[in-house]
């Protein structure tokens, strides 16, 4: 399948997990009906406020209510779902994890956030994910009938080696469930999502929650779909919205043929190693 539509549900996430799941389900249905989407993407921590004090209380084992809902709806609607991320309980650890479902409702991939968001920006924001979360150790590229899809979560996007390794593993679409904030978002979001797309000549799909000024953490919003040339195909503002765009592998191949960046790498001088 070389052409298909992908959609991002930029949903408002609140303190009631069941309501978050209902909202996600409704928005996924709308993405299929209104945007004819074959792949639907949710934001980071879509079932839980992005706040360390909520992660342990919202954490669930897998299978659990969140993954069951996503599995059921993926199967019913015959779509792929990149289920944003959730606090995943695994033994005594909690991970910030994205589950990827195929159109039979099966989990075909799992990405546990590799780089934890531990930052302290003077006059801006302090956040320490490692207070409650463990970090993942695997790079995630999932083989699908639509091509290989790489998944990384939010802060992971700041590490160019990771996204390049995905591209070298033949990922043509990179999906980033995210929750940037109102300090780092205006400074870096647009630049990061564009440069990762055009450096690696991939489609880059970045999904944020909508901004909630009542919450402790103010998500930036601006979910986006970027093409391999770095052009924004669709982007919303900070409010709840569904965005969509066409993934066109012929166009991706054209960009790679005309400007053969990946082929022009001097691997005799430098290379990236997967440990």
Exactly one of 17, 44, 100, 203 binds ligand LYUYDEPV (CB under 6 A); which one?
44
In angstroms, rounded to a whole number, what is the distance separating the alpha carbons of residues 135 and 6? Answer: 28
Rounded least distance, CB 266 to ligand LYUYDEPV, Å:
30
Taking CB under 6 A as the rule, does residue 179 contact ligand LYUYDEPV? yes
Taking CB under 6 A as the rule, does residue 212 contact ligand LYUYDEPV? no
Phi, psi of 248 (to 5 degrees): -130, 100
In terms of Cα–Cα distance, which of 245, 236, 252 is closest to 43?
236
Residue nearer to ligand LYUYDEPV on the CB measure, 184 or 223: 184
Rounded least distance, CB 104 to ligand LYUYDEPV, Å:
30
Residue nearer to ligand LYUYDEPV on the CB measure, 44 or 227: 44
Residue nearer to ligand LYUYDEPV on the CB measure, 179 or 205: 179
In angstroms, rounded to a whole number, what is the distance separating the alpha carbons of residues 227 and 211? Answer: 25
* Angle, CA 132 vertex, CA 129 and CA 138 arms, to 5°: 70
Query: Would you mind telling me the total number of residues written for the chain in this entry?
Result: 275
Taking CB under 6 A as the rule, does residue 85 contact ligand LYUYDEPV? no
Instruction: Give the containing element (helix H, strand E) for 7.
Output: strand 3-10
User: Annotated catalytic sites, by residue?
Assistant: 44, 113, 154
Contact 72, 103 (CB under 8 A): no
Taking CB under 6 A as the rule, does residue 184 contact ligand LYUYDEPV? yes
116-155: contacts with ligand LYUYDEPV (CB under 6 A): 117, 154-155
In angstroms, rounded to a whole number, what is the distance separating the alpha carbons of residues 203 and 7? Answer: 13
Taking CB under 6 A as the rule, does residue 238 contact ligand LYUYDEPV? no
Where do runs of H (alpha helix) occur along 36-113?
A: 55-58, 65-77
Tokens 């990922």 locate to 171
Taking CB under 6 A as the rule, does residue 9 contact ligand LYUYDEPV? no
Residues in contact with ligand LYUYDEPV by CB under 6 A are 44, 117, 154-155, 158, 179-181, 184, 188
């Amino acid at each position: 399948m070389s052409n298909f539509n992908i959609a991002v549900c930029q949903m408002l996430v609140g303190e009631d997990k069941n309501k978050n799941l209902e909202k996600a389900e409704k928005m996924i249905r709308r993405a299929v009906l209104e945007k004819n989407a074959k792949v639907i993407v949710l934001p980071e921590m879509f079932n839980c406020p992005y706040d360390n004090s909520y992660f342990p209380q919202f954490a669930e084992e897998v299978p659990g209510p969140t993954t069951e809902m996503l599995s059921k709806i993926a199967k019913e609607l015959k779509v792929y779902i990149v289920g944003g991320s959730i606090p995943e309980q695994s033994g005594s650890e909690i991970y910030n994890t994205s589950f990827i479902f195929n159109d039979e409702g099966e989990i075909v991939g799992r990405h546990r956030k590799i780089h934890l968001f531990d930052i302290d920006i003077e006059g801006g924001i302090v956040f320490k994910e490692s207070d409650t979360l463990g970090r993942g150790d695997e790079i995630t590229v999932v083989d699908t009938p639509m091509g290989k899809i790489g998944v990384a979560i939010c802060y992971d996007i700041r590490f160019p080696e990771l996204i390049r390794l995905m591209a070298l593993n033949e990922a043509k679409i990179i999906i980033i469930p995210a929750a940037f904030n109102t300090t780092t978002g205006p400074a870096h979001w647009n630049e990061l999502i564009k440069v990762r797309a055009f450096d690696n000549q991939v489609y880059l799909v970045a999904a944020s929650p909508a901004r909630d000024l009542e919450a402790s953490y103010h998500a930036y919003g601006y979910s986006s779909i970027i093409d391999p040339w770095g052009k924004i195909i669709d982007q919303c503002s900070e409010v709840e919205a569904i965005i969509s765009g066409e993934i066109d592998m012929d166009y991706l191949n054209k960009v790679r043929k005309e400007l053969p960046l990946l082929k022009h790498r001097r691997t005799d001088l430098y290379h990236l190693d997967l440990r």
